Amino acid sequence: MKKTNLSKILSVFLSVLMMSGVLCLFSFASDDSVTVYFSAVDQSSSYENGVIMAEKEITVSKGDAVKYGYKNAASDHNGNEVDYVTALDAIADASYLVYGSEDGVKNSLTVSSGYMSKAFSSFGPWMITVNGSMPHDDILLSWGYTGYSVDEMEIKNGDHINLSVYYDKTGYSDYITSVEAPENVKAGDGFKVKVTGYSSYVAMSGDDAVKSATYPVDGVEIYKITDGKSALLGKTDSNGELTVKTSKKDTENYIIMAKGSSSATADGSSAAVSNSFAEVNIKLSFIGHIIKFFKTIADFFAKLFK
């Protein structure tokens, strides 16, 4: 066999071997970590519009909470082993991003036996939703499902996790809302935002009950958030909708936030509304690209001479 052929075969073999190792690494990582979208809002906080974190993409690994002195449950309330990434792992990691130190996490987050009495330095009470619903088991009893505590609540890749302090701190009657908006919008075009919601009272009553209790939510304030700054776009109408007009000068994607302390719903009731988010990718116009180019240069020199 010629030396050149042997070299080629060896090269292919090593490439396959390395690729196998990379695939194994990815496979291993996918079991132990997830990428999620995390948001947290406390209207009484000093953050602009109460937004502590707005739909931030974070990667969370199994057992991350342990790094900060917390402990996940060994098993859930049905006796199933907790061998996955939990909501507590995500909350601890998000807290670190906000406060920047382990002490900051420990001082801002208090959890005992899965009960979260304090998060982001607020005693709440906090509502946690994953993909617009309260996580629970799938065992429907006469009174509904059983919810999970944060130390047994599984989160998966691509989940949207939202923490909001209840407006109604006595009856906990807040509406759990969802924001519908297009994923991609061309700068200069308009798009429609729709907000629907259902009472947290029915959150554990089963999918059919939640579906029949979901209505468009009227009078909710809609904000866009770019670079951490929020701007009011308007309020939803009786159909829970608002048409948003973009600018050709837009250079950043929108995070749409629905916010409201009380609002009339289609079933005729008045309810507090939890904050919810959606992200809209803005496809830049020609002028948008030019503005972003010069803005990038300006930011570079600003940091250089800071």
- 28-67, pLDDT tens digit by residue? 445 699 999 999 999 888 999 899 999 999 999 999 999 9
Nearest to 263 by CA among 215, 225, 304, 298: 215
pLDDT bucket at 264, cuts 50 / 70 / 90: low
Which of 137, 236, 136 lies closest to 177 in space, CA to CA?
236
Cβ atoms 270, 264 nearer than 8 A: yes
Distances (CA, A) of 243 to 98, 200, 233, 259: 33, 27, 9, 16
Mean pLDDT, residues 71-90 taken together: 96
- When mean pLDDT is compared over 17-26, 148-157, 171-180, 211-220, the highest value belongs to 148-157
Token pair for 298: 């300006």
SS3 content of the chain, % helix, strand, coil (to 5): 30, 40, 35
Strand partners, 257: 223, 277
Asked if residue 224 has pLDDT above 60, the reply is yes
Burial of residue 8, with CB atoms counted within 10 A of its CB: 0-12 exposed, 13-18 middle, 19 or more buried: exposed
Instruction: Specify the residue for token string 């940091």.
Output: 303
DSSP H/E element including 286:
helix 286-304
Residue 267's pLDDT is what?
A: 60
Task: Report d(CA 53, CA 55) in Å as an integer.
Answer: 7
Q: Which pLDDT score, from 0 to 100, does residue 94 have? A: 98
The H or E element containing residue 30 is helix 3-32
**What distance in Å separates the CA atoms of residue 177 and residue 199, rounded to the nearest whole number?**
9
pLDDT in tens, 243-252: 999 999 888 8
Average pLDDT over residues 204-227: 90
Averaged pLDDT, 103-114? 96
pLDDT, position 263: 62
- Pairwise pLDDT comparison (55 vs 13), residue with the higher score: 55
Nearest to 183 by CA among 282, 38, 56, 35: 282
- Predicted TM-score of the model (pTM): 0.82
Statement: residue 27 has pLDDT above 50: no
Point out the least confidently predicted range of 8-12, 102-106, 268-272, 277-281.
8-12
Can you give the pLDDT at residue 3?
46
Cα 176 → chain centroid: 14
Question: Which of 57-61, 163-167, 217-221, 265-269 shows the highest mean pLDDT?
Answer: 57-61
Tell me the C-alpha distance between 194 and 37, whole Å.
20
Could you give the CA distance from residue 269 to residue 86 in angstroms, rounded to a whole number? Answer: 35
Tell me which DSSP letter residue 205 carries. S
pLDDT at 6: 46
Report d(CA 257, CA 162) in Å as an integer.
12
Cα dihedral 268, 270, 273, 278 sign: positive
At residue 14 the predicted structure's pLDDT band, cuts being 50, 70 and 90, is: very low
Tell me the average pLDDT of the chain: 86
| The dihedral sign for the CA sequence 210, 212, 216, 219 | negative
User: At residue 76, does pLDDT exceed 90?
Assistant: yes
- Which of the four pLDDT bands, split at 50, 70 and 90, describes residue 281? very high
**8 Å CB contact between 91 and 64:** no
Average of pLDDT values for 217-241? 90
Are the CB atoms for 273 and 264 separated by under 8 Å?
Answer: no
**What DSSP state is assigned to residue 75?**
B
Which of 111-120, 179-188, 189-198, 255-264 comes out lowest in average pLDDT?
255-264
